[in-house]
Amino acid sequence: MNLFTYIKERLSIADVAREYVSFKKAGIYYKGTCPFHQEKDASFTISPHKGIFYCFGCHATGDVISFISQIEGCNQFEAAKLLIEKYSIDIPEQLLQEKKDSTTSLDEKNHYFALCELMAKWCNEQLPQSPQAMAYLTQRNITPATIKHFTIGYFPSGIKAIKQFQRFAHQHDFLIKDLTDARLLMEGKNCHYSSFEERIIFPITDHLGRCCGFGGRVFQKDDDRAKYYNSHENSFFNKGTLLFGLSQAKKAIQQSGKAFLVEGYTDCVIMAQSGYTNTIATLGTACTPQHLKQLSHYADQLYVLFDGDSAGLQAALRLTQLCWDVNISMWVIQLPTNEDPASYLKAGNDLGENIKKAEDIFSFFIRFSTQQFKHQTLKKKMAIVREILNIINAIDDDLKKMILLQEAAFKLGLPLEALTRECHHIHEQSTQKIVKIMVDKSNLHEGEKKLFILLIEKPYLLEREDIIIMSSAFSEPLKTIINKYRSLPQKSFTFLSEVLNDDEMQCAQRLLITHAQEQVNVEQVIREFAKRNWKSIALNTKEKIAEAQKRGDDQEVKILLQYLQELKKKVLNWSVQ
């Protein structure tokens, strides 16, 4: 038994998933809306007796550990560690060594996090010692309480400050090499320096609150460097997956079911200070599918407040291309031109009125896409219409789809019937592609699936003589899975999961939920499989007999011939019934 199996045997996947998903009992299963994609139907299914889940919509599948891994955005060992700590699971001594051997990279990650935490603390302590930095934050209306809440800091410039930082790190058992490896310090010709020098420092944490990087902002009027400087990307710091302020805002987001997304650190800080504690920000990059997927774990609605300039509008429009893949409703709050959330709030404006006027992102997209439509060339008009229809087609809600089609028809000045017809045409083309892909990916016959599930759920059948030779007729990866299952001394799905690779595991989990058989005629399933696959069974068995003859294994030859002859008689009898 490995560490993962030990954890899975002590946790109910339903109990763990219940903290993230609302679901109801449906026979022997639990069903609810999927946390991994946007949907209205209850496609997410949990099989408590097998300890697995499967979504009929997005086809996500896995066990309790992979569920946590996917929903928390961490690797399998981190997910296991979270479960061990959260549910106070006592790990046997023999498995602790396995955990230790397997978490070398995890130790390296924790070392990096501890170093970032140290720098955040040091910079925060330097801030009160700089009148200029404090004056800048005061001028931006950032209060001492907010500084403390976000651990905002300041990195002084000069060799003296660098040496002071090095000594501080050394007192906490970090070497200069650790600082340079983490790119917190750089090695110059004669001395070390930092690209964060003379910047306001915003520590960036992951969703679990672990400091993993920094955003530095210039504040001196004569500083002509780039306004923002972020930590270098590495294995533990990826701007495309991190959101500033998420660890601080997570609780407020979960309680309200809403989140506000802004573009910058200062915007986020001022929003939170103004009472919008459910605010997060991207790290100077475009919002990514990973950002939205992460937010959908905590919020049902996302309000986007980007700057009121053309770049901000384009950023909001790009989100329309991403939002149909996540289970979250998105709204756009448009600010006046040349205003950002921080400047808007500082001027004493009431953001509440703007929130009331928030526009559904699809309506926002249609409104801006159709501006100047009549002045475009025919080629450009066709491209705009198809882009709008592709967006509308991705919506699951038929009523919402029709409302948006009517809106698009009105603003484009085109007949609703023509847009509806083209929409159906695009949908049919898309469906044909999906069906073809699904057919190409799955050549498994229904009888093959039934026998596979039967053998997994009733492993004693694996020792039957007819099943032994029939197993050779399974398609891959079912044949490999059954062979691995037969070789296990202790047969259960939990132990089988230890020896399967990712593709085999996903295939088995998918079949066990999508083709569940509460009541089944065992002999009928075996009979149908044997009749359909008789030629393949006979050919495979004859090949095994020939291999045994080459090895001089007369006993194996005798057994296989006997099994083949007995099965042949059964198949002949079944054929005349």
433 in the same domain as 450: no
Q: What is the CATH number of the domain that holds 125?
A: 3.90.980.10
Q: What is the CATH number of the domain that holds 267?
A: 3.40.1360.10
H-helix segments, 228-264 = 246-256
Decide if pLDDT at 264 tops 80. yes
Cα 239 off chain centre by: 15
Decide if pLDDT at 189 tops 90. no
330 in the same domain as 268: yes
Mean pLDDT of the chain: 85
Decide if pLDDT at 442 tops 60. no
Decide if pLDDT at 342 tops 90. yes
pLDDT, tens digit (0-9, with 9 covering 90-100), for 165-183: 999 999 999 999 999 999 9
pLDDT of residue 131: 96
Residue 372 Rama label (left phi>0; alpha psi -120 to 50; beta): left
Q: Which domain holds residue 423?
A: 370-440
514 in the same domain as 458: yes
128 in the same domain as 188: yes
Q: Residue by residue, what is the 3-state secondary structure of 489-502?
A: CCCCHHHHHHHCCH
Residues 6+ apart with CB under 8 A from 331: 301, 302, 303, 304, 358, 359, 360, 361
Backbone φ and ψ for 172, nearest 5 degrees, come out as: -110, 25
572 in the same domain as 457: yes
pLDDT, tens digit (0-9, with 9 covering 90-100), for 496-544: 887 888 788 888 888 888 776 657 788 888 888 888 888 888 888 888 8
pLDDT of residue 440: 40
- Of residues 494 and 195, more confidently modeled: 195
Rounded CA-CA distance 231/217 in Å is 12
- Domain stops at, among 334, 366, 398: 366
Cα 493 off chain centre by: 25
483 in the same domain as 469: yes
Give the DSSP H or E segment for 62.
strand 61-63
State the total domains in the chain.
Answer: 5
**Residue 240 falls inside a structural domain:** no
456 in the same domain as 478: yes
Under 8 Å between Cβ of 332 and 359: yes
pLDDT of residue 439: 36
Region 458-465 average pLDDT? 85
Q: Residue by residue, what is the 3-state secondary structure of 163-189?
A: HHHHHHHHHCCCCHHHHHHCCCCEECC
Rounded CA-CA distance 245/271 in Å is 11
569 in the same domain as 465: yes
pLDDT, tens digit (0-9, with 9 covering 90-100), for 113-160: 999 999 999 999 999 999 999 999 999 999 999 999 999 999 999 999
